[in-house]
A and B are shown apart, each in its own frame.
Chain A
Amino acid sequence: MAQATTSTNNAPVIQAEKVSGPWRDAWRAFRRNKIAMAGLIMIVFFVLIALLAPVIAPYDYKAQELADRLKPPSSEHWFGTDDLGRDLFTRVLYGARISLWVGTFSVVGSIILGTLLGILAGFYGKWVDMIISRMFDILLAFPSILLAIAIVAILGPSLQNALLAIAIVNIPTYGRLVRAKVLGLKNEEYITAARSIGMKDSGILLRHILPNSLTPIIVQGTLGIATAIIEAAALGFLGLGAQPPAPEWGKMLSDSRQFIATAPWTVVFPGVSIMLTVLAFNLMGDGLRDALDPRMKN
């Protein structure tokens, strides 16, 4: 195993440090990756912004100051104002809350359901696998944003429904990933060994299969947050996600697109925010993949 070879090389070092587990080793590898660390720092930064938005924000994100419509960035309004005279800096700060919230929770939702279905399909095989895998195929047959639009159209446009739609759309991604991983793990000798000491299926699933399927889920989940943020922004842009006056970045883009020539700051700041958060999650996801995936180790 790749893990074994990397670690036996520096066995004496580990001995001295005493604490060395698979997760610690991964963290050590991750820390060495500067780009991934940059991603992590950006994410921490955005999370802080989201949490502290009410403290940092100079204005109320709903407060309209019609006299100050479409004001360019100034010391008073750092990012300028929008067509209703709302402070864009404040709105972008609050927007981080929405995007991170939607991104994280939709991914958590898809991971929980996807992992559950994937494990069942991979572990029990036969007709269970047939049914679950065909369900995934059907979901994947639709372009994801189209499917999300359809789901929101049925449920009615709102941020919660957008989140739900994004979660549903992404279930197969995780489901298939976990299923493939479980199929491989099922034939590992330590699974047979666990059976040979009398462990139950449920115990084997929880103690052996699930923890060992975790790494690809973590990697995919991090990258998935980026996708989910974009999808949420897209739904917001189409008017199917967050409803006014919620300061959702995608919604802000669509509200201001008619002023793109006259007041470019109204689209630049929300647009750049989307880009940076997505970039941060992608960088961190790539770094996690390098740190966690044994095939990437040499």
Chain B
Amino acid sequence: MILGLYNYWVVVVLMMIGLYIVIAHGNLIKKIVGLNIFQTSVFILYISIAKVEGGTAPILIDGVIQYSNPLPHVLILTAIVVGIATTALGLALTVRIKEAYGSIEEDEIQAKDNKEC
């Protein structure tokens, strides 16, 4: 049934929300939050691909036959940590931009850039 694909639709909805926030808002911190939402939706995509019906967590225990797929878990573990590194750097850049330009709105920064000094 088509309804068996609902996890992908949830992921697409979250991804589009994150994309909209990045495109449409001018405040730099809101863009970073939107990027975070986008990243988390990609994680949910991979983890939902890894789930196997009737499986449990991929830790070997006696008496369990069916496990979920451990490979996407590994990839997403790396991705989460890289995501936090990117967010930290983005926030550091935002602080410096605020010090240099005096504001964190995209329009004002571009106006200051275009103004001939």
**Chain B associates with chain A:** no
